[in-house]
Amino acid sequence: MISPRACEDNSRTREVADSEVEVTIPMLIKSVSLRFSHLRSFRRLALLLCISGIVLCTLLPNAFAATPDTGSTLNVSNVHIGGFMDPHNEALISQTLKSANENNVSLYVIQLDSNGVAGADINRIARKLSQADFVVAIWVGPTSAVYSDVLSPLLEAADFVGAADKSLANKSDATIIAPSLREFLAQLDNKKVSRLDYVLDMGCSKKEVTAEDAKSELCKDVKFAKNENFQLNIAPRFEKLSPIANLGHSLIKPGFAMGLLVMGLCLLAFEFFAASVGVAAIAGTIASLCGVYGLGYLPTQWWAVALCVLGVGALVIDVQAGGVGLYTAVGSVSIFAGTFFATDRSGPYGVTIVGAIIITIMALLFAVGAIPSLIRTRFGTPTIGREDFIGDEGIADGDIDPEGSVKLRGGSWKARTNHATPIKDGEKCRIIKIEGIILEVEPLVGAAIDHREKRRS
């Protein structure tokens, strides 16, 4: 039996437990809510930091790129243009103008050594130069440089034009005469560009070092070498054609293009006689295509190029005949005339007489000397010319009347009948003589008898 006191104690215990439960649950809820509130605050802070990072990463690079150079060093881009103004040089100027904007260049200088245009749009280049957001200067030099009036739109678009000597200055109407590019840059000091409202500061001169003005503070610690009157304070950037672009630019030369074309045709002729497709055929095809590529940008007279091709064909005729004859002379004259008149001779595009002679001699030596030797080597006949074949029997590879081919020792040879005695396809014949790479043959039966043999009989 439970006493009243025990019942009272139990009831108190339940009340205490209930009160503890009532106290614990609100505290637990409050604690969880506090944790969630801290978590939300942390998430807000993290989100704010992420947004700030994105904004900084986006704006700071642009801000740095757009900020002009406030230092004393002047950023200069120097581009050398040599040879004809072709699409490769035009692309170089376009690319460097774009990079000059990106690299905060203040002065863009073209060193010009060109006297012709071959495939480039000179007016388009001039328009880009005139619209540049920086100073553009052109120096025609060095003293050995060439210049033509066809490039005058470039000079008209430039802010300053200089030349290496008086002769080039008279041709280009340059206002600054400087024997070197460094001297030209020095003479640009304190020049004002009206269209940009900008004054160039190229460095320090001796007068500025000793003068008591604002600029002397920047030049007071400058020391000059012996015979030096001006010290440049620039950060030059030299631009040039890439290796592949330079290769394409080199092909656009009249003499070089014609030389490649003639050499390629001679290599293809060699492969024709060798009766195979090998290294010479690939090299000849590449050389011919490179020659045609270069001629495509030049003022080419294609009838002269066709005459040159016919000349190579005439040389091949005598190569096949195994000697030097009328066709060799005709071919040599045709190659010289075709090379000499291949491009327009009214400007700087014509091939020189010396160049045409060299190309003609090259083709002549290749056809008369190299092709026969290479053919003998290709057929693996180190004993030809030692009369090792004389007396051997071969089989006609087609009719020989009076020329054809004969199968001998596993190879096919050019052959000619003796005393114009025809030999039909498949008939046996005898080798009686060798002239160059041509085998002279006679039928085993029914051969013509020489008059000396008739006397003996």
The pLDDT assigned to 369 comes to 77
The pLDDT assigned to 56 comes to 45
CB-based contact 434:390 (threshold 8 Å):
yes
Q: How far apart are CA 263 and CA 109, in angstroms?
A: 39
- The encoded tokens of residue 350 equal 């014509």
Q: Tens digits of per-residue pLDDT, 43-91?
A: 555 555 545 554 444 343 333 333 334 346 889 999 999 999 999 999 9
Predicted confidence (pLDDT) at residue 221 exceeds the cutoff of 50: yes
Q: Tens digits of per-residue pLDDT, 412-441?
A: 788 888 777 789 898 999 988 888 778 889
What's the burial of 152, exposed, middle or buried (CB within 10 Å: 0-12/13-18/19+)?
middle
Dihedral angle computed from the Cα positions of residues 293, 294, 299 and 304, in that order, rounded to the nearest 10 degrees: -80
Query: Which of 103-117, 281-295, 386-400 has the lowest average pLDDT?
Result: 386-400
Predicted confidence (pLDDT) at residue 192 exceeds the cutoff of 80: yes
User: What is the torsional sign of CA 168, 160, 71, 132?
Assistant: negative
CB proximity list for 37: less than 8 A, separation 6 or greater: none
What percent of the residues of the chain are helix, what percent strand, and what percent coil, each to the nearest 5?
50, 20, 30
Whether the pTM exceeds 0.85: the reply is: no
What's the burial of 149, exposed, middle or buried (CB within 10 Å: 0-12/13-18/19+)?
exposed
- The encoded tokens of residue 69 equal 């150079």
Q: Would strands 74-82 and 234-239 be described as parallel, antiparallel, or unpaired?
A: parallel
In sequence order, what DSSP letters do the residues of 186-238 get, joined into one string?
Answer: HHTTT-EETTTTEE---EEEHHHHHS-STTHHHHTT----TT--EEE-EEEEE
Q: Tens digits of per-residue pLDDT, 325-346?
A: 888 899 999 999 999 999 998 8
- The encoded tokens of residue 26 equal 């609100």
Q: What's the mean per-residue pLDDT of the chain?
A: 79
- What is the DSSP-derived secondary structure letter of residue 85? B
**pLDDT greater at residue 36 or residue 139:** 139
